[in-house]
């Protein structure tokens, strides 16, 4: 069995001081309008950010290192209409870049003696700012923590945090857990969180770890592992710190009400197209296949992505590491008829071992990139761009060039400009030209 995203083992590389597109360590590792629900009325946004003053034509993509943080950099993101760039450190801190300069003090520090346990695939893994962050200063984090209750080995936690009213570059030191998921193993934690166009919070979880989905959670709608969850953080109800959207598929029973889609192994990184609402999910494979799923806006609810009946389009006939890619779809006797198959799948034989799904470019600095989704692989590196047509087919182009090694994420700031983070702590801006 490969251990997905053993990023803790290479985190000591730190921030480094070179400006090359390679991050040094190349040790292979395994992984690391959306629904018909009514939207939530929101007050006017903060002052919109100005578009790029000097847009550059051309579609030749390059990267430029803007700096680095301590240990592995899990994600770069920003609040709506906020010019700062927030970078998540695996060990438990959130750092801020202003005008591409790293502020010396962290925005939030959840490292020991805080709640975050880090190392391997554990750590601070996700960050999402409330759509009304400019008014309520509220944001959410996903991290792994010890389970002191004795129910399981550890917990996957979504917590609510608040920025200081006195200093916008500092958060209050204490966050409130709103969702705690017992997890039996330290790998396959998922960890990406995002607010959708419906203003609900979406949470990806892995199958809990081990090989072959040992607890068979992927197809179990009662389990919160191996899923895409959707919750309403604005209307706590029934003793929870959140509410359940009325159009969640199991709101009336048959599964956990938080569950929105099932059948995922380790959806490490995924994103919404901020213009169309389409969803791009990269699901890290086991022994053979890395898969990219592209779901049109409004169609994610109730989807079954097949794990652990399928790895990619191939049947998984046995529990464990052995999945037969030669078996046709029809040979999976237990398969439901509506399994959603990936639009792109890459084999481990070709060097892919841990897909990193990125984001559709919607910035203004490089207009020829508009509408292209970028993704990569932690082990193989490189960069791929794709765009969806009206029939949900992908035009896929493998790019040539030198790109950062051991990427952990590709994600946009408030302007829609994209940044690549790596497991040695580097942060790169994605650029384009002739």
Q: 362-373, pLDDT tens digit by residue?
A: 999 999 999 999
Which CA distances in Å does 1 have to 31, 146, 226, 285?
12, 24, 18, 12
Confidence at residue 39, expressed as pLDDT on a 0 to 100 scale: 39
Please answer whether residues 51 and 105 qualify as being in contact, where contact means their C-beta atoms are separated by less than 8 angstroms. Answer: no
- For residue 349, what are its two tokens? 């034989």
Which CA distances in Å does 233 have to 59, 131, 209, 228, 242?
39, 11, 27, 16, 5
Confidence at residue 234, expressed as pLDDT on a 0 to 100 scale: 98
Q: What are the strands, taking DSSP E only, across 90-192? A: 93-98, 101-102, 108-109, 124-129, 138-146, 154-162, 176-183
Nearest to 392 by CA among 298, 311, 329: 298
DSSP per residue over 210-221, as a string? SSS-TT--TT-T
Cis peptide bond prior to 405, omega within 30° of 0: no
Q: How confident is the model at residue 391 (pLDDT cuts 50, 70, 90)?
A: confident
Question: In the predicted model, is pLDDT for residue 68 greater than 60?
Answer: yes
Confidence at residue 287, expressed as pLDDT on a 0 to 100 scale: 86
Q: DSSP assignment, residue 43?
A: P
Nearest to 134 by CA among 233, 201, 49: 49
Q: 316-335, pLDDT tens digit by residue?
A: 764 444 554 444 444 577 68
Q: Which residues contact 252 (CB under 8 A, 6 or more apart)?
A: none
Helix ranges restricted to H, 32-172: 133-136
Q: 81-135, pLDDT tens digit by residue?
A: 999 999 999 999 999 999 999 999 999 999 989 999 999 999 999 999 999 999 9
Confidence at residue 45, expressed as pLDDT on a 0 to 100 scale: 59
Q: Which residues contact 198 (CB under 8 A, 6 or more apart)?
A: 33, 34, 35, 37, 38, 39, 40, 245
Mean pLDDT of 190-218: 94
d(CA 258, CA 251): 8
Mean pLDDT estimate for the chain: 88
Q: How confident is the model at residue 32 (pLDDT cuts 50, 70, 90)?
A: very low
Beta bridge partners of 5: none
Confidence at residue 331, expressed as pLDDT on a 0 to 100 scale: 55
Nearest to 205 by CA among 173, 239, 180: 180
Q: How many Cβ atoms from other residues are within 10 Å of residue 430's Cβ? A: 24
d(CA 365, CA 373): 16
Mean pLDDT of 327-352: 82
Question: In the predicted model, is pLDDT for residue 414 greater than 70?
Answer: yes
pTM for the model? 0.89
Q: Which residues contact 266 (CB under 8 A, 6 or more apart)?
A: 4, 5, 31, 32, 187, 188, 189, 190, 206, 207, 283, 284
Mean pLDDT of 3-17: 33
| Architecture of the domain spanning 7-433 | 6 Propeller (2.120)
Q: How many Cβ atoms from other residues are within 10 Å of residue 142's Cβ? A: 27
Residue % of the chain over a pLDDT of 70? 86
Dmax over CA atoms of the chain, in Å, equals: 61
d(CA 270, CA 401): 24
Q: DSSP assignment, residue 324?
A: B
Which CA distances in Å does 143 have to 11, 111, 233?
17, 11, 17
């Amino acid at each position: 069995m490969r251990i997905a995203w053993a990023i803790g083992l290479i985190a000591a590389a730190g921030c480094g001081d070179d400006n090359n597109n390679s991050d040094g360590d190349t040790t292979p590792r395994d992984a690391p309008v959306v629904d018909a629900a009514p939207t939530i009325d929101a007050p006017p946004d903060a002052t919109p950010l100005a578009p790029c003053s000097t847009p550059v034509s051309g579609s030749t993509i390059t990267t430029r290192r803007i700096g680095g943080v301590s240990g592995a950099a899990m994600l770069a993101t920003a609040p709506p209409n906020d010019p700062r760039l927030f970078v998540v450190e695996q060990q438990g801190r959130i750092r801020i870049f202003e005008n591409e300069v790293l502020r010396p003090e962290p925005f939030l520090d959840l490292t020991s003696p805080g709640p975050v346990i880090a190392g391997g695939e554990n750590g601070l893994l996700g960050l999402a700012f409330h759509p009304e962050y400019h008014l309520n200063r509220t944001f959410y984090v996903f991290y792994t923590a010890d389970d002191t209750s004795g129910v399981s080995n550890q917990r996957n936690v979504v917590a609510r945090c608040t920025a200081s009213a006195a200093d916008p570059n500092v958060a209050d030191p204490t966050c409130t857990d709103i969702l705690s998921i017992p997890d039996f193993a330290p790998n396959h934690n998922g960890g990406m969180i995002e607010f959708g166009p419906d203003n609900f919070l979406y949470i990806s979880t892995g199958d809990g770890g081990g090989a072959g989905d040992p607890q068979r959670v992927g197809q179990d709608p009662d389990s919160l592992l191996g899923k895409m969850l959707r919750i309403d953080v604005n209307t706590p109800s029934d003793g929870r710190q959140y509410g359940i959207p009325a159009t969640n598929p199991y709101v009336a029973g048959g599964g956990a009400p938080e569950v929105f889609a099932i059948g995922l192994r380790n959806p490490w990184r995924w994103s919404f197209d901020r213009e169309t609402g389409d969803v791009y999910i990269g699901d890290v494979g086991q022994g053979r296949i890395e898969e990219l799923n592209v779901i049109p806006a409004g169609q994610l609810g109730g989807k079954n992505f097949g794990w652990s009946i399928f790895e990619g389009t191939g049947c998984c006939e046995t529990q464990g590491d052995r999945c037969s890619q030669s078996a046709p779809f029809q040979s999976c006797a237990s398969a439901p008829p509506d399994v959603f198959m990936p639009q792109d799948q890459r084999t481990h034989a070709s060097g892919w071992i841990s897909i990193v799904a990125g984001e559709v470019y919607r910035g203004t600095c490089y207009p020829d990139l508009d509408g292209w989704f970028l993704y990569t692989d932690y082990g193989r590196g490189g960069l791929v761009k794709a765009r969806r047509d009206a029939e949900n087919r992908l035009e896929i182009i493998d790019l040539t060039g030198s790109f950062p090694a051991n990427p952990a994420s590709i994600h946009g700031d408030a302007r829609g400009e994209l940044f690549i983070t790596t497991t040695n702590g580097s942060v790169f801006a994605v650029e384009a030209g002739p």
